[in-house]
């Protein structure tokens, strides 16, 4: 799918199966970031000289690219340092702007990542709200009727993960958002595992906010975006102030900008945003639909071969973004991952920053396999060969 020659960090003898943690980065992304540092290193939106103007133009061009890539309005794109920062900024914004009362409810799912679950849990504790967790069925999916049964007139915030980073399940987010609209709840979508992996339309999903990270979609670390509906951009007051967020400041008051930049306090991650733009170009060149088809084929192959190993328990949703987890009941996941690593297989072990679902399937955590456009069936074969060495080591 992706030419391996595009990725300088690909090493002979290593099968990289940890893309849900962070994807590999193609040369084109590294090159445009280097170009910024070498040729026009300057801050954005602050200078009138040539390199500052060039940096600002390059930065703002990416805002347009993000909007086009996820089918949003350019005015709805807010740059952050990643999904966790987006979630923190968003939840702080909601706390400052929504009328949240004791006894009001926050709805999350068993699949939610700690990036949203933890700050929402803290918000519930501060405001004496009730945090409710929607369960999954035996296929790790959210049933619409079950989801609807958790909604009440007191539901103020709903958090949905677009795809699980543990079992790969893609939720029917559009339908769940439609159901949530029966209340006046603010709906958040964590799309960290899906943007750049499957086609996304912010307009079609109709959530109030959606966020993602650059480093999970061939971009650099330290950058992400969160999309906030125009009506909220206009009406919300940002929880943080600083350079770049205001139109004027006096002794008496601050007047914030009326666009997305009012949420971008301080000097932004300029090189990283420019790198994100190059990653979007790269993914569009390779066609996200084709990337989706490729990862589906590879993860289905992985599921098939791993289920043939009698000592392995596999956990994966059917409609899958390219992630599965497994456990060997008598062996700790960290021991499995260590042996795999010694044999050239890069995976992640533990609770995957999503402890609710990870503990549900395996008390000690799981070993996770995650694939992307550069993953091949040969990588999966290397994994299964290495698992035979785990079996030998522990006399399975």
Any idea which residues carry the catalytic annotation?
A: 353
Establish how many alpha carbons lie within 13 A of residue 241's alpha carbon, considering only the half-sphere containing its beta carbon.
Answer: 11
Establish how many alpha carbons lie within 13 A of residue 243's alpha carbon, considering only the half-sphere containing its beta carbon.
Answer: 7
Establish how many alpha carbons lie within 13 A of residue 323's alpha carbon, considering only the half-sphere containing its beta carbon.
Answer: 30
Residues 6 or more apart from 11 whose CB is under 8 A from it?
A: none
- H helix runs in the chain, sequence order: 27-39, 50-69, 83-97, 114-127, 144-150, 173-180, 202-205, 230-235, 270-286, 288-306, 333-342, 355-361, 377-393
- DSSP H or E stretch at residue 367: strand 366-370
Residues 6 or more apart from 230 whose CB is under 8 A from it?
A: 73, 75, 76
Q: Are 324 and 21 in contact (CB under 8 A)?
A: no
Q: Torsions phi, psi of 361, nearest 5? A: -90, -30
Residues 6 or more apart from 33 whose CB is under 8 A from it?
A: 220, 271, 272, 274, 275, 278
**Residue 152: Cβ within 10 Å count:** 13
Q: Are 317 and 303 in contact (CB under 8 A)?
A: no
Quickly list DSSP for 143-160.
Answer: -HHHHHHH--TTEEEEEE
CA 168, 170, 174: angle at the middle one, nearest 5? 160
Query: How far is residue 92's CA from residue 189's CA, in Å, rounded to a whole number?
Result: 16
């Amino acid at each position: 799918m992706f030419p391996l020659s595009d990725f300088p960090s690909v090493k002979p003898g290593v099968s990289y199966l940890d893309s849900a943690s962070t994807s590999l980065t193609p040369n084109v992304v590294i090159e445009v970031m280097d170009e910024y540092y070498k040729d026009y290193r300057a801050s954005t939106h602050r200078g009138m000289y040539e390199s500052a103007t060039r940096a600002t133009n390059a930065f703002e061009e990416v805002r347009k690219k993000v909007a086009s890539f996820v089918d949003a309005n350019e005015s709805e794109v807010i740059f952050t340092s990643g999904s966790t920062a987006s979630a923190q900024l968003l939840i702080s914004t909601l706390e400052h702007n929504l009328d949240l009362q004791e006894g009001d409810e926050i709805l999350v799912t068993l699949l939610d990542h700690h990036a949203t679950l933890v700050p929402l849990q803290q918000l519930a504790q501060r405001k004496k709200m009730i945090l409710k967790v929607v369960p999954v069925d035996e296929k790790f999916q959210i049933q619409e009727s079950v989801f609807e049964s958790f909604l009440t007139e007191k539901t103020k915030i709903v958090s949905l993960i677009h795809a699980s980073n543990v079992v790969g399940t893609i939720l029917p987010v559009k339908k769940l958002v439609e159901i949530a609209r029966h209340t006046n709840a603010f709906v958040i979508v964590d799309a960290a595992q899906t943007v750049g992996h499957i086609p996304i339309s912010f307009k079609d999903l109709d959530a109030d906010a959606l966020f993602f990270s650059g480093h999970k979609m061939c971009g650099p670390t330290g950058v992400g975006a969160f999309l906030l509906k125009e009506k909220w951009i206009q009406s919300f007051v940002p929880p943080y102030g600083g350079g770049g967020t205001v139109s004027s400041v006096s002794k008496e008051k601050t007047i914030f900008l009326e666009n997305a930049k009012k949420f971008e306090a301080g000097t932004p991650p300029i090189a990283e945003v420019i790198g994100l733009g190059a990653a979007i170009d790269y993914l569009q060149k390779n066609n996200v639909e084709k990337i989706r088809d490729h990862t589906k084929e590879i993860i289905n192959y992985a599921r098939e071969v791993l289920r043939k190993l009698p000592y392995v328990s596999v956990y994966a949703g059917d409609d899958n973004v390219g992630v599965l987890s497994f456990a060997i009941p008598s062996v700790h996941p960290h021991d499995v991952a260590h042996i795999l690593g010694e044999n050239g297989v890069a995976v992640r072990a533990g609770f995957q920053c999503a402890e609710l679902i990870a503990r549900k399937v395996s008390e000690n955590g799981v070993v996770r396999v995650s694939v992307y456009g550069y993953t091949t069936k040969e990588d999966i074969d290397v994994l299964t060969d290495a698992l035979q060495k785990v079996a030998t080591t522990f006399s399975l």
